[in-house]
Amino acid sequence: MEAEIIAVGSEMLTAGRVDTNSLFLTAQLNDLGIEVTAKHVIGDDRERLASAVRRALGAVRLVIISGGLGPTEDDVTRDAVALALDRRQTFTPEILAGIEQRFRTMNRPMPEINRRQAMVIEGAHVLPNERGTAPGQWIEDADRIAVLLPGPPHELKHMFERQCLPRLARIAPPLAIHTLVLRISGMSESELDQTIAPIYKRYENPATTVLAHNGDMQVHLRARCASEREAKALLAEVGSQIELALGDRIYSRNGDPLEVVVGQKLAARRATLTVAESATGGGLADRISLVAGSSAYFLGGFVTYSRRLKMDLLGVPEDLLHRFGPVSRETALAMANGALRRTGATYAIAITGNAGPTTDGDEAPSGAFFVAIGTSQDVQVAHRVWPAPDRVRVRAFAAQMALDLLNRRLNQS
Ligand code: ATP
């Protein structure tokens, strides 16, 4: 079964408001095996909304419309849906009595305009609102269903869970939706897609999505089958081919981010970690320490932005900084060794680079980074240049690369 969601409200078309109701509804519908095929946001415009409702009901069996059920002129949902279905509305005294009662309990007079909320579309089943004044409506039209829900999220959630879920559970044909999330690092998005497209293009089901964010990538495989067993078998079939193609580029199969994966490996071998950061300014330590329980392996670190602190806190020799510059393989190596010496940690990560957008006084090109990873026996340095003229992204890329390198290192030893 397929559904579309329409969020109503001109405020949802401004930069300051986001339609979160549809996220909640999508999750709930997916749990029932109902696929959301489109979402729309429509302003407070009766005709426009009526035509969107008409179009949606022509495309799918279930259309859920949220918001616009209030008492004011710009609350157009009831009128628009009545127009779309070519049905009249009738005044329902019991609803008005309920609204009046609500105002009485709040010790406030009911404004006359609230009478509009007692209008019900012909043939609709009224969904009482236990959290607010606007009742919802459930309307069946041949094999199509339109559901009107209030906009405020707490009202919508309550009404959906109590009154729509049981109805939908009865009519939704059995469909199990399962998702496999693979997280990948250490390759570009295009490299990733080039590697796995020949596999996933052969299947319409599961649907495959590739997401990329600051060097971190995710492949989502979403299987829709009549039973849970079939969905899981299909995911295993396609997932195993993708896993084979990507090998150790995959760092997680359960959604865990890299800092969690690395943390688990460190904890399992009772190893400790320290960091020495220049260009990332503490961003790496922030990610590592965000993980609950990270105190078991993360000792802490050094934010040595200046040459002085690289010398004072990490013991990087002044002549080395002078000869090679602070953004260099040699400095990264000396920072990692200094951090290992000063803390006694098993592993150290050191990052030095130029996050841009300009080339600094030491002539390190914008986006150039050196990341050193290792133990007191062996430190390796990797070099990368990201051309992005965006400090936030470049710093995030560097932290991601550092965690990826440490993860690989932990896989080897
Ligand atoms: P009310 O009678 O309470 O006004 P309503 O059904 O008319 O109910 P709206 O006026 O459309 O609801 O929205 C009320 C508030 O609910 C909005 O200001 C917004 O804060 C929130 N809201 C509405 N729609 C959404 C949505 N799709 N996602 C998140 N919040 C929403």
43 pLDDT band, cuts 50/70/90, is very high
pLDDT at residue 413 is higher than 80: no
Question: Helix count (H) and strand count (E) of the chain?
Answer: 14, 17
With a Cβ cut-off of 6 Å, ligand 1 is lined by 7-9, 11-12, 19-21, 66-70, 75, 132-134, 150-153
pLDDT of residue 388: 65
323 pLDDT band, cuts 50/70/90, is very high
What's phi and psi for 156, nearest 5 deg? -60, -45
Ligand 1 pocket mutation pick from 13, 19, 73 by most atoms within 8 angstroms of CB: 19
What three-state secondary structure class fits 210? strand
Q: Mark out the alpha helices in 46-161 (DSSP H runs).
A: 46-59, 77-85, 93-105, 153-159
Pairing of β 347-353 and β 298-303: unpaired
Least confident of 51-60, 72-81, 259-268: 72-81
Ligand 1 pocket mutation pick from 6, 69, 130 by most atoms within 8 angstroms of CB: 69
Ligand 1 pocket mutation pick from 5, 17, 130, 147 by most atoms within 8 angstroms of CB: 17
339 pLDDT band, cuts 50/70/90, is very high
Six-digit token string for 5: 């969601």
Question: Which amino acid does the sequence have at 300?
Answer: G
Atom index in ligand 1 nearest the CA of residue 152 equals 16
pLDDT of residue 64: 98
Evaluate whether 49 touches 38 at the Cβ level (below 8 Å).
Answer: no
Between CA 158 and CA 34 the distance in angstroms is 19
pLDDT of residue 59: 97
**The 3-state secondary structure of 260-304, one letter per residue:** HHHHHHHHHCCCCEEEEECCCCCHHHHHHHCCCCHHHCEEEEEEC
Instruction: Provide the whole-model pTM.
Output: 0.70
Between CA 4 and CA 40 the distance in angstroms is 8
Is residue 206 reached through a cis peptide bond, with omega within 30 degrees of 0 on the bond before it?
yes
pLDDT above 70 as % of the chain:
99
- DSSP one-letter code for 365: P
- DSSP one-letter code for 113: G
Q: What is the DSSP string of 167-181?
A: HHHHHSPP-EEEEEE
pLDDT at residue 258 is higher than 70: yes
Between CA 399 and CA 369 the distance in angstroms is 10
pLDDT of residue 355: 86
What contacts 252, CB < 8 A, 6 or more positions away? 181, 182, 183, 258, 260, 261
Please give the C-alpha separations between residue 390 and each of 20, 61, 96, 367, 380, in angstroms, as whole numbers.
29, 45, 56, 9, 27
pLDDT mean over 336-342: 98
pLDDT of residue 232: 95
pLDDT of residue 365: 83
Evaluate whether 62 touches 34 at the Cβ level (below 8 Å).
Answer: yes
Is residue 150 reached through a cis peptide bond, with omega within 30 degrees of 0 on the bond before it?
no
Specify burial of residue 78 (Cβ count, 10 A radius: 0-12, 13-18, 19+): buried
Between CA 117 and CA 110 the distance in angstroms is 12
- DSSP one-letter code for 394: H
pLDDT mean over 229-248: 96
pLDDT of residue 362: 56
pLDDT mean over 118-136: 93
Evaluate whether 374 touches 355 at the Cβ level (below 8 Å).
Answer: no
Least confident of 3-7, 49-53, 353-357: 353-357
CA of 289 to the centre of ligand 1 (A): 38
